[in-house]
Amino acid sequence: MKRLFLLLALFASILISCQDDATVASHNLSREADMFRVDRRVVFYNGITNEYILVVEGKCSIKADTVDKQLELTCKTGENSYKKHFLGLSDNVTYFAEQLEPVSVNTYHYKVIFKPSVIIPDVEFKK
């Protein structure tokens, strides 16, 4: 088991060392945002009328689905509370996302995050 862990760590460090600093920093920033540690402002606007349609601010994770032309925003609103928004994109409606504050990420640090709730399924017993 120890050998396997060392082998995986070595493999991960080799993969990371092949990437440039900007790629690693971008990946780490995205991971921090997906862990709800980054404040963002996401603005949706109509490109024809130049009017804002919607503005969402907060600790939000963004997932774009180019096939269905929709954007999923999952925002943390409290200790254990979240809101999810589905927003459709079209030829004239688009968005931009702004990171509100700088976030310190390390271009040399590799981190693996295990979430027990993902690894161990939530089992519900019924009588």
pLDDT digits (tens, 9 = 90+) for 63-117: 988 888 899 999 999 999 999 999 888 888 888 888 888 777 766 666 666 666 6
Answer whether residue 117 is part of any domain: no
d(CA 12, CA 109): 11
Answer whether residue 109 is part of any domain: no
% of the chain surpassing 70 pLDDT: 71
Answer whether residue 54 is part of any domain: yes
Q: Is the pLDDT of residue 5 over 80?
A: no
Question: Are the C-beta atoms of 111 and 12 separated by less than 8 Å?
Answer: no
Average pLDDT over residues 8-16: 62
Answer whether residue 39 is part of any domain: yes
Answer whether residue 9 is part of any domain: yes
Q: Say what the pLDDT of residue 59 is.
A: 94
Question: Average model confidence (pLDDT) for the chain?
Answer: 80
Q: Say what the pLDDT of residue 3 is.
A: 72
- Count: domains in the chain: 1
Answer whether residue 120 is part of any domain: no
Answer whether residue 123 is part of any domain: no
State phi, psi for 81 to the nearest 5 degrees: -130, 140
Range of the domain at 92: 2-101
C-alpha Rg value of the chain to the nearest Å? 19
Average pLDDT over residues 7-26: 67
Q: Which of 22-26, 50-54, 55-59, 75-79 is predicted with the least confidence, judged by mean pLDDT?
A: 22-26
d(CA 51, CA 44): 9
Residue 4: its H or E element:
helix 2-17
Q: How far apart are the first and last CA of the chain?
A: 40
Answer whether residue 110 is part of any domain: no
